[in-house]
Amino acid sequence: MRISSIAKAIVAGLAAGAAATGTAVQDGMLDTGEGVTIVLAVLAALGITWAVPNRSSSAGS
């Protein structure tokens, strides 16, 4: 199965955003600092995942 870099980055961004949001709303409210943290987590996950190339598939695997 071949997964594109775009799909890989989107899934990583969603996972990072969900994790950061889940942590941020534990106290029942979302403030500006937590919002910034969520945005930075999503952007970092997208950027880092996009920058790392997919491993090439080896023959026979």
E strand or H helix that includes residue 8: helix 5-24
Distance, in Å, from the CA atom of 34 to the CA atom of 4, rounded to the nearest integer, reads: 31
Residue 58 domain-assigned? Answer: no
DSSP 59: T
> What pLDDT does 54 receive?
75
Residue 57 domain-assigned? Answer: no
Domain count, the chain: 1
> What pLDDT does 30 receive?
92
Q: Burial of 41 by CB count in 10 Å (0-12 exposed, 13-18 middle, 19+ buried)?
A: buried
Q: Write out the residue range of the structural domain in which residue 13 sits.
A: 5-51
> What pLDDT does 39 receive?
97
Q: What is the pLDDT along the chain (61 residues), one digit of tens a residue?
A: 567 878 888 999 999 999 999 999 999 999 999 999 999 999 999 999 888 877 777 755 5
